[in-house]
Amino acid sequence: MPSAPLRRQPTFVLVSVLTQALGIGANTAIFSAIKTVVLNPLPYQDPEKIAVLWEVNPDGNQGPVSIPTFEDWKRETKRLESLAAYRHVDFSYKGTGDPRNVPGLRATPDLFSVLKSNAVLGRTFTADEAVPGADRVVVVSHGFWTRVLAADRSIVGKTIQLDAVPYTVVGVMSPAFEFPTSTKVEAWTPLTFDPKDMHGRSRRARSLTVIGRIAQDSTPRQAQQEVSVLASRIAAEFKDSNAGWGARVVAAHEQLWARRVPR
């Protein structure tokens, strides 16, 4: 019970109580962050080497990446040993019952090498499948394989209907695999870039999320410095679309924390 002097100073008591409450809230947020990063690490090999890359507009806001910029980064960076790009998509799966929605991802073939993750049945994508016309293949999650495909161990090589289009199943991921970790993706298909799609390949058309693996002999800071230099070169060469634009390399754990920790 507050002493007499404190009872005569209710404002002081209120401030004290609020301070303690805020302290508890801050500690909870900090513990949540530690739990996410330390107790629930990303389910990939050497997760501390994985980063998400963004373009940064002149106002300092980060966002998706254009196809030409992604291709420049992929071709020119040395501090990132592999880069992949992806987009979210929802498929409609038609099996023997009613159609069902299947959360999916279209990703460049390097996605699985960036994550250093292999299929437990079959394989992941090959480079020649990232070509329009050769991209009707799919890797499915272990959960989808179990629940929807009846855990058919002969599923590799068979076709399933996604958006009324036949896709050949080439692989099944392990039960522990999930990507991205913030969503429940159940099917991955190759992401292709049509060279005839001039609008889609414009540097103004920023629609890709980019993920990369930092080289073993490099640090995140070195990767950031290199990508910043590339962004400056692109900004100077393509003033109409990129003047004032930069690039940002963010640790994958930081991205996961930003999405999962309650605000």
Predicted confidence at residue 2, as pLDDT, reads 47
| Ramachandran bin of 36, using left for φ above 0, alpha for ψ from -120 to 50, beta for the remaining angles | alpha
Q: What is the DSSP letter of 39?
A: I
Residue 31 lies in a domain: yes
Give the number of domains in the chain.
1
Residue 85 lies in a domain: no
Residue 170 lies in a domain: no
Per-residue pLDDT reduced to its tens digit, 76-86: 999 999 999 99
Residue 51 lies in a domain: no
Residue 22 lies in a domain: yes
Residue 165 lies in a domain: no
pTM assigned to the model: 0.80
Which of 19-33, 170-184, 221-235 is the most confident on average?
221-235
Q: Which domain holds residue 24?
A: 4-39
Residue 12 lies in a domain: yes
**HSE-up of residue 221 (Cα within 13 Å, Cβ side):** 0
Measured from the Cβ of residue 233, the count of other Cβ atoms closer than 10 Å reads: 13
Residue 27 lies in a domain: yes
CA distance linking residue 67 with residue 247, whole number of Å: 14
What is the average pLDDT across 170-190? 91
Residue 95: pLDDT band (50, 70, 90) is: confident
What is the average pLDDT across 86-112? 93
Decide: 93 and 148 in contact? Cβ < 8 Å.
Answer: yes
pLDDT at 46 over 80: yes
